[in-house]
Structure 1
């Protein structure tokens, strides 16, 4: 039968396992990421090349 924990006990167990958590990021602190490298073209590669015999 699983143990039942109170909210305070669960909070203590989370803190014991993960330590102090960083502050939550506010929406005004978020930045938009921009890809700088072109996307890799997988269409020209052999999708089963890793399965071929290397001998």
Structure 2
């Protein structure tokens, strides 16, 4: 037997479990992301470290 909840009951249960939501972020508070070069593969990093260690 499944219970049927109303929207108000679901809202109360969400509030009881998670509390108040944080304030919504304003558009002027957002940060523009800057694309960077991709990170080299781990295998490349390990190879470079081995080369440096061996001289």
What RMSD over aligned residues (CA atoms) do the two structures have, in Å? 2.8
Matched pairs, number: 45
Ranges in structure 1 where 5+ consecutive residues have no aligned partner: 47-55
Quick check: which has more Rg, 1 or 2?
2
Following superposition, the deviation at residue 32 of structure 1 comes to 2.1
Relative to its length, the structure with more helix (as a share) is 2
Alignment of 1:1-16 (within 5 A): 1-16=1-16
**Secondary structure of 2:32's match?**
coil
Ranges in structure 2 where 5+ consecutive residues have no aligned partner: 48-55
TM-score after normalising by structure 1 = 0.56
TM-score after normalising by structure 2 = 0.56
